[in-house]
Each structure stands twice: as structure tokens, then as C-alpha cells.
Chain A
Amino acid sequence: QQQVRQSPQSLTVWEGETAILNCSYEDSTFDYFPWYHQFPGESPALLIAIRPVSNKKEDGRFTIFFNKREKKFSLHIADSQPGDSATYFCAASGDQGKLIFGQGTKLSIKP
């Protein structure tokens, strides 16, 4: 019940295209959904986050779409750049105080 599922495991898109990363969860008490990105050899860093009161959150080229009824959320990266190449983790948290991560999506942007 505490799992967060993420897909695809890896994704390659051309520079300028929109990359779409997907996540789903089971625990209806989760109320905070961040996306982190991690470059090789570095620590994960927060990219963008959303709460269930909203179904969309934008920050520049990054947009989270949230579907509370289906317990799904996705990250859209518009106008993908080679510098966006990294591993992206979705996550979810509730009032229990722990952040549960998805399995990660390794994103590669081809120039």
C-alpha cells in the first residue's frame, strides 16, 4: 500500500521534444508529491512538487499533472535539453513523515 510505481524505466527523446514520466500510488493518505532529479554521482535534488488540491503545477519547462481519482501523476518536460539528461524520481509523502520514492526513470536527451 505504501508503494510508488514509476514508468518508464528509461526514456530517450530528441532535443526539443516533450518528455513524459509517469507515476502512480496506492496510499490515499499521501498528500505531497515531489519530483527529484539526480545526476550521476550526485545527490537527488528537488525539481518541482504538487499537492492534491491542485491538478497541475508549472515551473518553467516542467509541469506536473495530477489525477487524484486515478492516483496518478506525471512530469512533463517541455523543450527537452541535453542538460535535462538525468535520473528522475517521483515520490510521495503523507503525515507519517517519510518520503517514498519511485523506481526512477533514466532520461536521455539526444541532441
Chain B
Amino acid sequence: GPKVLQIPSHQIIDMGQMVTLNCDPVSNHLYFYWYKQILGQQMEFLVNFYNGKVMEKSKLFKDQFSVERPDGSYFTLKIQPTALEDSAVYFCASSSLGSNTGQLYFGEGSKLTVL
């Protein structure tokens, strides 16, 4: 089936450093999402992105977070500076239609450990 690729699969950084998580969505998908999951618990919505813009972001999407997809390349989540509570697995997802219309395809996650 369609694949969403995420790079890196695991990153360990010191608190205060910057991190960029990369997502290669399914080809021709137009909607992109980031979710945060701590220790196999609930998938928490962070942000969705369409047509080069953030559509909606949650309270978890702090000012230190940003997303972009320059020129159809990777869809990225940048955290600058990182905090201890940012440690989690971050899942990227993409869909061809909005999430109330079509299936979201998830990547395998980027595990972020902030020390």
C-alpha cells in the first residue's frame, strides 16, 4: 500500500537544541498532518497543512514548533528550542482528501528523546 516515510526513525538531542523531523508523504497526497504519541498512548493532533498553509493547530503546537513543505519536498516539523516534554514519537500522516473524507496514511514515526 501507499507509504509515508519518516526520517529519522530515532533522534536523541539535548534540551534547547533544534530538531527537524522529516516526512515524505504519499505521492499526490495534498493534506499533511503531525501527531504526537507518548509511550503508546493517545495519538494527539498537532497540526494539519494544506496548500502550503497551516489549516489548524492544537494547543500542543507550541510557538517553538513550525511546519513547512518547501517546493513539494519533505513536509517538516521543526522544534526550536526543544524541551524535555517534547520527548515522544511524532507521526506524520497524509491523505488525498480531508480527514473526514479519506484515509490517513501514517508513517512509522520519529522517536524523539530530549535529554
Contacts and interface: CB of A to CB of B under 8 A. Distances in A.
A95 B99 CA distance: 8
A34 B55 CA distance: 21
B43 A43 contact: no
Interface residues of A, number: 26
Contacts, number: 65
B43 A97 contact: no
- Size class of B's contact patch? 20 to 34
A97 B48 contact: yes
Contact of A45 (B40, B56, B106): B106
Interface in B67-115: 91, 98-101, 103-104, 106-109
A85 to B, nearest CB: 13
A99 B41 contact: no
A1 to B, nearest CB: 14
A43 B91 contact: yes
Interface of A: 30-32, 34, 38, 40, 42-46, 49, 87, 89, 93-104
